[in-house]
Amino acid sequence: MTERVPILRIGEVLVVSIQFDLEDQTVLNLQEDLAEQIVARSARGVVIDITAVEIVDSFVGRMLATIADISRLLDVQTVVVGMRPAVAITLVELGLSLGGVSTALDLEKGLARLHRSFQSSDLA
């Protein structure tokens, strides 16, 4: 049984905090769980906190992009927060710029960004 990443809910936002280095199977489980949870809890935003992740490979990089794509289809915004400098450098060296994913420095700023965009879309 591989570990599953817990998905927490704060208001309209789902928070995924990844606390260990990811195995491929865990990543696939996460994608599945998250898609289900978004629909079940009618969330509007997802924050993925990777503060504790020290090692990334192209698979994890792609996972972040895939989650963002899945979320967008479900009309949910994804923000990746807390990326470490070393991780950012690795991703750049791997040639992954995570085009469709928005990022923020920490959880607080990520939540603030989501709330701002909720407000602007409410007004529209």
Residue 116: name the closest of 82, 84, 83, 79 by CA. 79
Give yes or no for a contact between 41 and 76, defined as CB atoms under 8 angstroms apart. Answer: no
Using the rule CB under 8 A, is 42 a contact of another protein?
Answer: no
Binding residue for another protein, selected from 7, 34, 47, 91, defined by CB under 8 A = 91
* Per CB under 8 A, 89 contacts another protein: yes
- Given the rule CB under 8 A, which of 12-20, 28-36, 67-75, 96-104 is the region that contacts another protein? 96-104
The answer to whether 81 and 50 have CB atoms below 8 angstroms apart is yes
- Alpha-carbon gap, residue 92 to 4, rounded angstroms: 28
Cβ proximity to another protein: between 1 and 99 the closer is: 99
Close Cβ partners of 75 (under 8 Å, ≥ 6 residues apart): 44
| Interface pick for another protein out of 28, 65, 70, 98 (rule CB under 8 A) | 98
Binding site for another protein (CB under 8 A): 79-81, 83-85, 87-89, 91-93, 97-98, 102-106, 109-110
